[in-house]
Amino acid sequence: MTELTILMPCLNEAATVGRCVAKARGFLQRAGIDGEVLIADNGSDDGSRMLAERAGARVIEVAERGYGAALAGGIAAARGRSIIMGDADDSYDFDRLDGFVAKLREGYPLVMGNRFRGGVQKGAMPLLHRYLGNPVLSFVGRLLFRAKVGDLHCGLRGFDREAVRSLHLRTTGMEFASELVVKASLAGWRIAEVPTTLHPDGRGRPPHLRTWRDGWRHLRFLLLFSPRWLFLYPGLALLALGVALTTALYFTPVHFLGAGLDIHSMLYASAAALLGMQLCLFALFARVSAQNAGLLPRQPSVDRLLTTLTLERGLLLGLALALCGLFWSGAAFWQWREAGFGALDPRVVMRDTIPAAALMVGGMEIMLAAFLLSILSLQDSGWPPRSGPDSARVAGELFASGTAKRKAGRLTEALADFSQTAELRPHDPGCLLQAAEVAYLVGKPQLALEYCGRLRSVAPGLDATDMLEAHIRFGGEHYLQVMARILDAVKPRTYVEIGVEQGTSLRLVQAPTLAIGIDPEPKLAGALAANQKVFAQTSDDFFATRDLRAELGGLPVDLAFIDGMHQFEFALRDFVNLERFCTRDSTILIDDCYPLNRETAERERRRGFWSGDVWRLILLLKKYRPDLAIHIVATPPTGLAVVRRLDPDSRFLREHHERLCREFLAVDYAFLEDDMPGKLNLFPNDWAKIRALLG
């Protein structure tokens, strides 16, 4: 894993994206940082993707539209431990990110830019945004969430990748910026600020931001994420004011600022008290629901309150209040009876009936609220169990519906069906796999990885899970597609493949290239072409009994592919034997060099998805053959190594074979875990760059 990814969401930024990428790459080079520039393209149709790639960025497509969706896709695809994100409109200094990197290295999980401290150049921000929108929303964020941030919506910010993934950010629009800061504040993160200069937008067209629409979305999000300020505090104020005024007016009229308050004011005061109580209950409902959904972190105080406010206690409290109101109303009725059911002085009788009615209504509301809280608590504990004939029937119908929609290409609708099915059948690998695959297809890699995690707990060792994770991790063209490109570009005279199996890769070789395959037990499907020949023997036997150059008509090996036993020592011997017949302009490709995890990197095969320990060969070649040019192209599923600058006269590996095997068989997989991309020379799956490697 590299140190830093500079991430930019992009939607039709052709006028500026090239400059932004160039500045970011220049910063990485100047600062000596091992990093990458990643463009999360959100459906550009103006050539932005091509311009970004030409400038040296890695580009991914994010199908789901929206600023937040693009950033979420970029975060999931990033290879850096830390990420600095910013808009691709040339309004930020991507060549001056030193302050962000310094704070990230100090251990801050979130580093925010502050445009008001760094300077807003003339014409860079509309006056309405500068003096009203941003200051007000930033103040609201500080007030509601105690976020120590002076510029809540600065688009330039840095963060720890894994820490942000743990926040489970969900919004897909512009409010993604608010969600990140809000959840970080609620999680108790240390947040640093760096002065940032905002330059005028360089695109020469209106921005994607819409002042009132997106401003309201931000404010709405802040309020919805703060039940205390939206419901609780206004509710407590109304409840206190209503109870106090009702109590005061029960004993005597009140004169305030020249106005006389009597029974009519008492009626409104009791209504305010009831409304206040309802808002307080809404605050509790909203908090519990948000905790259950994972939108807000759990609060011990809320959990203790729920433990205290059981259904039975809530019913007793509500019943007690309702009975008080009923008895009080009975007393008023008795007064009326004593008066012969005639007319009563409303200024007297209403002082009893108003609070009595309020108590009865309030008591009934508390009883109903106790039932609702009990239901929410049951949802939190996972009850009811999702089983039984009805749920099974519904799950079957949803699964069938999702399957049909997937075949019809209606992937977003299919994902909704499969997601519901996965909740009804949480232990069904088939449902979880469908949900994961469709989530990946619609551009939601983080959601797909969450389903993959659930799959691993339900069905450990499922090959389809590993394959899907491998595609999510790398993306881009499959290794066979890249091989086809290499064959077309290099047009080798000769090609040798070790480990033919069904001949899928061997069949990519077109005449007039002479192709030889070596496999002890080939399982070829169909006849080979005239230019293709397979020897049914082990590679060790082949090189011991045959002259490869003679089999190739006296020509050297121009291109070779090692895809054999998946074990380090076999791959090493194959490399040594092939290099003898190569030239300095030849290329050797090696499959399965970049393992998915420890389980798939073991020497012994325990599952279908398995890359073995060929990765040890890359470490050996890097250490003892520095003359070689070695790059592992990030192709799904487990990388494709491209080895150039071969030396057919080199004897070091042959002469020290046994010692080298012992040395690198002792290397544990843990050696890779802190920086696998760097230690294995991971290279972008970008054809233009791969073509340059081939000379």
pLDDT of 384 above 60: no
Examine residue 355 and say whether the peptide bond preceding it is cis (omega within 30 degrees of 0).
no
Give all strands (DSSP E) within 253-314, no chain letters.
254-256, 259-261
CA–CA gap between residue 169 and residue 207 (Å, rounded): 24
- Average pLDDT estimate for 86-111: 92
Which residue type occupies 615?
W
* 13 pLDDT above the threshold of 80: yes
| Gyration radius of the chain's alpha carbons | 34
Which of the residue ranges 111-115, 371-375, 477-481 would you say has the lowest mean pLDDT?
371-375
- What is the reported pLDDT for 520? 92
What's the confidence (pLDDT) of residue 668? 92
* Residue 388, pLDDT score: 46
Q: In 460-493, which positions are buried (b, 16+ CB within 10 angstroms) versus exposed (e)?
A: eebebbbbbbbbbbbbbbebeebbbbbbeebebe
pLDDT number for residue 114: 92
Residues 572/620, Cβ–Cβ less than 8 Å: yes
Q: In the predicted model, what is the mean pLDDT of residues 185-195? A: 86
pLDDT of residue 215: 62
Once rounded to an integer, what is the mean pLDDT over residues 334-350? Answer: 76
Least confident of 144-158, 160-174, 295-309, 507-521: 295-309
pLDDT digits (tens, 9 = 90+) for 33-53: 999 999 999 988 888 999 999
- Indicate if the pLDDT at residue 126 is higher than 70: no
Q: What Cα–Cα distance (Å) separates residue 356 from each residue in 161, 335, 345, 430?
A: 58, 14, 17, 59
Determine if the peptide bond prior to 595 is cis (ω within 30°): no
End-to-end CA distance of the chain: 27
pLDDT tens for each residue of 395-422? 777 888 888 888 888 888 889 888 888 8
* Window from 74-88, 200-214, 228-242 with minimum mean pLDDT: 200-214
Averaged over 109-124, what is the pLDDT? 85
SS3 category, 527: coil
How many whole angstroms separate alpha carbon 85 and alpha carbon 157? Answer: 6
**Which range has the worst mean pLDDT, 367-371, 502-506, 542-546, 606-610?**
606-610
- The conformation of residue 131, written as its DSSP 8-state character, comes to I
Dihedral sign from CA coordinates of 26, 27, 31, 33 = negative
Centre a 10 Å sphere on the Cβ of residue 695 and count the other Cβ atoms it contains: 10
Q: Quote the tokens at residue 630.
A: 């070695």
584 pLDDT higher than 60: yes
Which amino acid is located at 576 in the chain?
V
Looking at residue 217, what is its pLDDT? 63
> Does 282 score more than 50 pLDDT?
yes
β-pairing, 582-591 with 629-633?
Answer: unpaired
Query: In whole numbers, what is the pLDDT of the chain averaged over residues?
Result: 86
Predicted TM-score of the model (pTM): 0.48
DSSP E strand stretches across 169-258: 191-195, 254-256
Q: Please provide residue 106's backbone torsions phi and psi, each rounded to the nearest 5 degrees.
A: -75, -10
Give Cα separations from 552 to 517, 581, 645, 646 (angstroms): 12, 10, 21, 19
Amino acid, res. 424: L
Domains belonging to the chain, first-starting first, are: 2-224 (3.90.550.10), 227-380 (no CATH), 389-460 (1.25.40.10), 479-693 (3.40.50.150)
Mean pLDDT of 317-324: 92
**The tokens of 84 are what?**
């600095």
Find, among 63, 1, 73, 76, the residue nearest to 34 by Cα: 1
State what percent of residues in the chain have pLDDT above 70.
Answer: 90
